[in-house]
Amino acid sequence: MSELCDLTATELAERLRAGEVSSAEIVESCLRRADAVDDRVEAFLTRTQDVARQQAVVADERIAAGDAPAVTGIPIALKDVLTTRGIRTTCGSRILESYVPPYDSTAWARLRASDAVLLGKTNCDEFAMGSSNENSAFGPVHNPWDLDTVPGGSSGGSAAAVAAGEAVWALGTDTGGSVRQPASLCGVVGLKPTYGLISRYGLIAFASSLDTVGTFTRSVRDAATLLSTLGGRDPMDATSLDEEPRDHTAALTGDVAGLRVGVVREAFGEGVQPGVRASVQAAIDRLADLGASVGEASLPHTDYALSAYYLIAPSEASSNLARYDGVRYGLRVEGGDSVEMMSRTRGAGFGPEVKRRIMLGTYSLSAGYYEAYYGQAQKVRTLIIRDYERAFTDFDVLVSPTSPTTAFRIGERADDPLAMYLSDVFTIPANLSGMPAISIPSGLDEAGLPVGVQLTAPILGEAILLRAADALERAIGFDAVPRLVRDLGGS
Amino acid sequence: MPVQIDIEHVARLARLDLTDEEKRRLAAQLGAILEHAAKVGEVATADVPPTASAIPRANVLRPDEPRPSLSADEALANAPATADERFLVPRIVEIE
C-alpha cells in the first residue's frame, strides 16, 4: 500500500523539498482516493478539484523557488463551518445550503498564504452540534473502519477523510469534543489547542466561549506543524490570545523522563467499555516505561461538566443562531410580516438537533429561569477550572480515555439525545476550562475499532502536551489501517 | 422529575415555527435533558463566582484605521431579496 495520500504531511514535505515528488502528484493521489471511496464514506460536502489543481501548480513553483513553508503543497480538507471566500460553506445546514462567503476564515487565510492546497469542505453535524455526524442535513458520514458505524462528530467528515486517505490532514472545530472524539473513533490524531490560540474569525459561531479550531492529522508532529501555521494573535478576533506564532515542532524532543502524569480517576468509571479501558491503561503503562511518573489525579466535578455544558453551549447557540433570520443570507420562507417570515424560515431551515438546542438555550436564558440554569452552569464552570488548577499543581499532563466507547452503529443513539451527549463526557471539561487537549490512537478494541487516549495540559501548555503525545505516539507505534483502505489493495 | 416547559412560549421567544409533532417530542426531550442539567444546582453555591469565559479578555481594540471592506454587491450577494442596494424585508411599519 502506502499511496502518497496515506503518508504523513511531514514525510510528504521532506519528499517535496527533496524534489522526489510534486504537490500535483500528491493532490492527484488524494483525488483518486476520494473518487474511490467517498461515495461510501461521504466525508465531503463540496469537493474543489479544480481549485486544488491550480493551487498545486503554484505550490510546486514556490517549492522549486526554495522559500516554501512546511505546509506548502500539502492538500487539506476543511470542515464546512470555516468560511472560504467564493466556495460554498453550509455548516451542514439547509438554512445555509447555498451560502457563498465573501471572506476567508483566518485559519484558511493563513494556510492559503502558505500555499496549502484545498481539497474541499467536509461534512459535519449541523452547526457543529452533535457527536455522530448524523445531524448533518446532507446525510451521515461513514467511519472508514466500519462503514456501518459513525465517525463521531461533529467534525466527522474531516476525521473520516484523513483516516481514509482522502486528505493528508484536515481542520475541524471543537466546542465540546468535536475534534478529539471523531479523531478517537477514526484512529487519527485530533488536537484542540488552548482557547483563543487559533483565531475564530470565519468560524461560523456555535458557542463562542467554547469554539476552538482544531486539527486532524496522522501524527503529533503533523499537528504541531499545522498549529505553527495557524496559531497566534489575530486582530479580527477579540478573543484571540496575544501570542506570537511559533514553531511548535521544537517541543518534540521525545523525552518524557520525569514528566508528572495524572490519571483522571473519574474517567475510568461505569460506562467506559472494557476495550477502551484496557487500551488506555496500556498507553499509560507505556508512559511509565518511558520514565514518566504516573499518579492518580482527580477532577471531582467531572459529573457536573456535562450538565453545565448542555446549558452553556445551547444558551450561547440560541443567541448566535438568531442571525439566521432570512434577511441577509441563507434560506427565506415568506410570511405575512417579518416575525412570521423569520419563524417560518427558521422552522424550515434548522434540523431537529439545532432546534432542540435553540429551545434549550432560549429556555435557559429566559426570564425566571436564567439564574437556576445558565447562572448556575457558569458557577460550575468555575468549579471545573478550579479542579484542573488543583490537579496541575501536582501533574504536568492529565490522561483519560477520549470517549467512553469506540465507534457506535449509525442510528443506535439517534433517538436518545442524553445517551448521545455522554460521548463527550471526557472531552467537555477542556472546553469549559479552555485548556489544550489531544487525542491520539492507543490501539484497537476487540472489534477492530480504534481507541483514543486523551492528554490535557494547562492553558498554553502546548509544548508539554505535544511533547508527551509525540513520545507516547512513538512508543505505541499505532500502524493499523482501516478496512476500507486495506480492501483497496494496491489501488 | 422531568421539567415541565411552556413550549409555545419558548418557541415564540426563539422565533421558531414548530409542528405539533415537534412540540410534543421537544417537550419530552427537553424535560429529560433539563432534569439532568438541573444537577448544576447541587454544587453551584452562593460563594462560587460565575465564569463566562475561561480566558477573559477586556477592551481588546485594534487601531481605528480606514481600510477596504466588502462592497455593497458582495455584502448583498447572499441575501434572499434586495432592492436599491438594500436588504428587502416584509413591511415592518404601517404607512397611513
pLDDT tens readout for residues A342-372: 999 999 999 999 999 999 999 999 999 999 9
> In this complex, which of A235, A318, A375 lies closest to B50 when CB atoms are compared?
A375
Closest C-alpha to A466, from A76, A197, A128: A197
Would the pLDDT of B62 be above 90? no
Tell me what the mean pLDDT of segment A34-55 comes to. Answer: 98
> In this complex, which of B11, B41, B90 lies closest to A359 when CB atoms are compared?
B11
In the structure, what pLDDT confidence band is assigned to residue A1 with cuts at 50, 70 and 90?
low
pLDDT tens readout for residues A372-382: 999 999 999 99
Q: How many angstroms separate the CA atoms of B8 and A176, rounded? A: 29
Which residues of A are part of the catalytic machinery?
A: 79, 154, 178
The answer to whether A319 contacts chain B (CB < 8 Å) is no
ipTM summary value: 0.95
Percentage of chain A with pLDDT > 90?
Answer: 95
pLDDT tens readout for residues A201-243: 999 999 999 999 999 999 999 999 999 999 999 999 999 999 9
In the structure, what pLDDT confidence band is assigned to residue A125 with cuts at 50, 70 and 90?
very high
Tell me what the mean pLDDT of segment A457-467 comes to. Answer: 98
Mutate to test the interface with A, among B8, B40, B82, B91 (most CBs of A within 10 A): B40
The answer to whether B31 contacts chain A (CB < 8 Å) is no
**Inter-chain residue contact A327 with B75, CB threshold 8 Å:** no
DSSP per residue, B19-37: -HHHHHHHHHHHHHHHHHH
Give the three cell numbers for residue A450.
480504534
Q: Across chain A, what does the average pLDDT equal?
A: 96
Q: Which residue has the higher pLDDT, A179 or A415?
A: A179
Q: How many angstroms separate the CA atoms of A41 and A143, rounded? A: 7
In the structure, what pLDDT confidence band is assigned to residue B93 with cuts at 50, 70 and 90?
confident
Q: Which helix (H) or strand (E) holds A451?
A: strand A450-456
State the pLDDT at residue A490.
54
pTM of the model: 0.97
What distance in Å separates residue A349's CA from the closest CA in chain B?
A: 10
| Residues in chain B closer than 8 A to A343 (CB atoms) | 15-17
Half-sphere exposure of A13 (CA within 13 A, CB side): 20
Q: Which helix (H) or strand (E) holds A428?
A: helix A428-433
Tell me what the mean pLDDT of segment A77-85 comes to. Answer: 98
Q: Which B-chain residues 73-92 have CB contacts (< 8 A) with chain A?
A: 74-75, 77-81, 87, 89-92
DSSP per residue, B3-14: PP--HHHHHHHT
Would the pLDDT of A491 be above 50? no
What distance in Å separates residue A164's CA from the closest CA in chain B?
A: 34
Number of Cβ within 10 Å of residue A165's Cβ equals 29
Classify A225 as helix, strand or coil. Answer: helix
**Inter-chain residue contact B40 with A235, CB threshold 8 Å:** no
Let me know the angle formed at the C-alpha of A252 by A192 and A154, rounded to the nearest 5 degrees: 15
Would the pLDDT of A67 be above 90? no
In the structure, what pLDDT confidence band is assigned to residue A416 with cuts at 50, 70 and 90?
confident
Distance of CA A117 to the CA centre of its chain: 19
Would the pLDDT of A36 be above 70? yes
